[in-house]
Structure 1
Amino acid sequence: MSFRIVRRSKFRHVYGQALKREQCYDNIRITKNSWDSLFCAVNPKFIAIVIEAAGGGAFLVLPLSKTGRVDVNSPLVSGHKGTVLDIAWCPFNDNVIASGSEDCIVRVWHIPDGGLTKSLTEPIVELVGHQRRVGLVSWHPTANNVLLSAGADCRIIIWNVGTGEILSSIDHPDLIFHCSWSWDGSRLCTTCKDKKIRIYDPRTGEMEQEADGHEGAKPQRAMYLKNNLIFTTGFSRMSERQYSLRSESALGEPIVLEVLDTSNGVLFPIYDPDINMVYLCAKGDSNIRYFEITEEPPFVHYISTYQSTEPQRGVGSMPKRGCDILNCEIARFYKLHSKGFVEVISFTVPRKSDLFQGDIFPDTQAAEPAMTAEEWISGVDREPILMSLKDGITQPKKAEFKAPPKKPNILDKNPAKKITPSGSKEATPSPPGSPLPANANRLEELMSELKKMKTVILKHEVRIRDLEEKFSVDANANNIANNGETLLPDEV
């Protein structure tokens, strides 16, 4: 007589379910760029999606409540001159988003409450320092106003967004595939084209450790977990997809190294630090796998797979404070379809009780910074501030910043002017006698209407030209059939 021992886990029965179509987003021109990025960022207020637009330098921001069919003329964030490659919401201010682009510039934008009413072209800060495209942006997990950017110039720059200054810079040996902050933001883990995994001190730029990663040539990614563990995804020498779990103290000796399958999409790990779960998704795949990380062997426990028929172009994940706690929703993903549809997928723990389930909802990261940028660069380390989910989610106060004198705070509730990096001229207030704001607003409205009229006229001109060419071809065909002669364009 044999017995099968089943591992006890609160998350063994987690299942994913897509919401109804009217609760999703449709008619969005999702970008066709092949860059290895998720192209979607979500917070409890907004969803941001990189789209296919004229010039390529735009992304769409919608309030979460604006579901259904999206107007093709919806206002965009369109200040970049090159294709947008990555976007990231500020963890401490739900109205602030950063974007990196092929134009080599990092821009930070302020989205007004309720969403955009017209296209946004002026950022609140421009961060100029990279020589080549910027493919990754990532906010510090605990320090206010600290932003990381990584470019194809093999350089990592850490910025103080409030002043536009560079706090530190890291010259990387080769093309950077991915960067991840540690739990308290005191260290930085990177993956690289030379197949190495490195750990840096982000303040000094000194490399603390280096080890061989996955043997395959395709991009690999690394994600810092709690307890100084690092979860990586990559490819074997035979192009098999792999994942591994490593300890920071022994980076070159994986605790776990498993082959997943033989597909060719780069696996993106999405980590839930509250319950130690990792979700794996990839472009071109139609499924999302999820695992639980524990302290006992085999350490990485496969739970299940959400399967669908449509492949994904990208995925956005909702912070825990934006999930439906009362319905035991532990994760929510926004899956980008190539056909312009954004599907919302809810992962739920089945429970019969309507009471708050404290065992599956421990304290989570609050939208409040643990320290300032000045404290962090001076050497202070603090873990994220946690909040209880028991009493429901209340709208957090926007983070306030104590910037140095003559350095305006760019994440104030009502940012008034654009900031450029230190060394450049700042905007000056309007002199006395300047036009009233109402007149200025009226002028902007007239200019916007003029642009729309020019667009309509251009469309009509193209249509008229097409009709003339078609009429010319038809006339020639009739003349040849009747007389055997070809008419010149002026004779038609």
Structure 2
Amino acid sequence: MSFRVVRSSKFRHVYGQALKREQCYDNIRVSKSSWDATFCAVNPKFLAIIVESAGGGAFIVLPHNKVGRLAADHPLVGGHKGPVLDIAWCPHNDNVIASGSEDCVVKVWHIPDGGLIKTLTEPVVDLIYHQRRVGLVLWHPTALNVLLTAGSDNQVVIWNVGTGEALVKIDCHPDIVYSACFNWDGSQLLTTCKDKKIRIINPRTGEVESEAVCHEGSKATRAIFLRHGLVFTTGFSKMSERQYSLRTPDALNEPIVMVELDTSNGVMFPLYDPDTNLVYLCGKGDSVIRYFEITAEPPFVHYINTFQTPDPQRGIGMMPKRGCDVTSCEISRFYRLNNSGLCQVITMTVPRKSELFQEDLYPDTLGDSPALTAEEWVEGKDAEPILISLKDGYKPPESKATITVTKRNILDKGGAKTGKTQNATQVPDKTLQEFADEIRKLKAMIVKHENRIRALEAEVALSKANADEDGSGGDGLNAGHALGDDEV
């Protein structure tokens, strides 16, 4: 008699559940770009989705309570001249979001509490350096206002958004950078590249600390740092089979685990929860979300379950833990985009009978306070992220102070600081002027349309009169023809 020993884990029975359609977001024109990005970014205040936009690039920002069918003329964030390729919310200010685009520019935006009432075209700051499209934006996990961008010019740039300056320019990739990820305290950077290599880089100096071939297939590879330093990757084999692997930073070329999943051709995005050590694999074009638990004992990566959906996904976003519902034992929440314009909300829950706070499911998690300033980080300081307890739930703070950008004047030898500061006092006058301009344009358009309508009405009346005259003459002619035929 044989029996199988079942591994003990509190996440063994995690199950996914899709919310009803009326609790989801509908009528969203998701971007049709072929760029391998998730097209979706979420935080406890807002949901942002890259959308199709005529004459440039745009994304939509929705407060979480704005569920249901979206109006076709809903305000956008739209200042890019080319399609938006990637977006990322600032982890330290839920009202600030960065976007990278085909127009080679990175823009940082401030979204007011409650969402947008009109289309936003004025960013807080433009970050201009890349020569080709920018397909990757990533915030530093512990330092305030530090942003990483990567473009098709093979350059990786780390910015201080507070001054609009490029702090570090990393030029060690011979081809396009597919993904980037900071480690737990932001002291190391992990990248994957089209040359099939995975690299661990010092983000302050740009020096490559170690590198190795990751997956041998030619399609896009993704890699993330796990909380305790291991590296998890997804990619393709030579035979185009999808794989995932687990590696140690000091032996990148020798994976601890390498597993082939299937032969689908969609790029797999690993979404990671550092509190539970769960990795969710979401493939582009897949109709499933697979989830695994990473542990210290073999086989290290433990398959838990698969959440099945009826339709393929175009993109996906994952809510930070502080936005999850602790009263229902929700450990993850996903926002899944499909081809029909629906953004489906999926919750992952551990079944527990008790309604008390489950401390083992909710250890202290990443908060929204930075551990360092950008200046401290540049000087060489590292710090663990500041954690918060979810025992009483998380309440998003009211809008933090608008991000202020102070650019140094390079013409001033004294180094005085001048320039583009986003002050609350400047905004009302500017807004009133914009409204006045829009009203003037609308009035001109209405007058133009009225004149055109009058001209068309006159043409229609004239055509009708001519048709009546032709009709009466034509009837007599037809009668004559009929008579002639009879006589014959």
- Please confirm whether the aligned pair reaches a TM-score higher than 0.5, indicating the same fold: yes
Is 1:448–2:438 an aligned residue pair? yes
| 2-structure distance, mates of 1:311, 1:391 | 37
- SS of structure 1 residue aligned to 2:310: coil
1:270-289 mapped onto 2 (5 Å cutoff):
270-289=271-290
> Residue 453 of structure 1: CA displacement?
6.1
Is 1:100–2:88 an aligned residue pair? no
| 2-structure distance, mates of 1:259, 1:288 | 16
Which residue matches 1:413?
401
Is 1:76–2:69 an aligned residue pair? no
Is the CA contact (8 Å cut-off) linking 2:402 and 2:422 kept in structure 1? no
> Residue 452 of structure 1: CA displacement?
5.0
Q: Let me know the Cα RMSD of the aligned residues.
A: 2.9
Which residue matches 2:393?
392
- What CA deviation, in whole Å up to 9, does each residue of 1:203-240 have, x standing for no partner? 00000001111000001010010221000000000000
- What CA deviation, in whole Å up to 9, does each residue of 1:302-339 have, x standing for no partner? 00011111111100110000011100000000001111
- SS of structure 1 residue aligned to 2:22: helix
Is the CA contact (8 Å cut-off) linking 2:90 and 2:96 kept in structure 1? yes
| 2-structure distance, mates of 1:14, 1:214 | 30
Which residue matches 1:320?
321
| 1-structure distance, mates of 2:42, 2:392 | 22
| 2-structure distance, mates of 1:222, 1:459 | 59
Which residue matches 1:114?
114
Which residue matches 2:419?
426
> Residue 134 of structure 1: CA displacement?
0.5
Q: Compare 383-392 and 234-243 and name the one that shifted more.
A: 383-392
- SS of structure 1 residue aligned to 2:228: helix
TM-score, structure 1 as length reference = 0.87
Q: Closer, same or farther in 2 for the Cα pair 1:58/1:450, shift >3 Å?
A: farther
> Residue 461 of structure 1: CA displacement?
7.7
- SS of structure 1 residue aligned to 2:271: strand
> Residue 423 of structure 1: CA displacement?
4.2
Q: Closer, same or farther in 2 for the Cα pair 1:236/1:453, shift >3 Å?
A: farther
Is the CA contact (8 Å cut-off) linking 1:14 and 1:348 kept in structure 2? yes
Is the CA contact (8 Å cut-off) linking 2:134 and 2:152 kept in structure 1? yes
| 2-structure distance, mates of 1:459, 1:250 | 73
Which residue matches 1:487?
none
Aligned identity (percent) is: 62
Which residue matches 2:292?
291
AA in 1 matched with 2:316: V
Which residue matches 2:26?
26
| 2-structure distance, mates of 1:326, 1:54 | 43
Which residue matches 1:48?
48
> Residue 57 of structure 1: CA displacement?
1.1
Is the CA contact (8 Å cut-off) linking 1:241 and 1:259 kept in structure 2? yes
1:120-159 mapped onto 2 (5 Å cutoff):
120-159=120-159
| 2-structure distance, mates of 1:429, 1:159 | 18
Which residue matches 2:240?
239
| 2-structure distance, mates of 1:362, 1:264 | 37
Q: Compare 274-283 and 440-449 and name the one that shifted more.
A: 440-449
| 1-structure distance, mates of 2:444, 2:196 | 51
Is the CA contact (8 Å cut-off) linking 1:316 and 1:335 kept in structure 2? yes
Q: Closer, same or farther in 2 for the Cα pair 1:2/1:144, shift >3 Å?
A: same
| 1-structure distance, mates of 2:427, 2:239 | 64
Is the CA contact (8 Å cut-off) linking 1:265 and 1:285 kept in structure 2? yes
Q: Closer, same or farther in 2 for the Cα pair 1:420/1:307, shift >3 Å?
A: farther
Q: Compare 382-391 and 447-456 and name the one that shifted more.
A: 447-456
AA in 1 matched with 2:9: S
Which residue matches 1:36?
36
Which residue matches 1:405?
none
Is the CA contact (8 Å cut-off) linking 1:147 and 1:160 kept in structure 2? yes
Which residue matches 2:222?
221
Is the CA contact (8 Å cut-off) linking 2:124 and 2:422 kept in structure 1? no
Is 1:198–2:191 an aligned residue pair? no
Q: Closer, same or farther in 2 for the Cα pair 1:378/1:451, shift >3 Å?
A: same
Rg larger in structure? 2
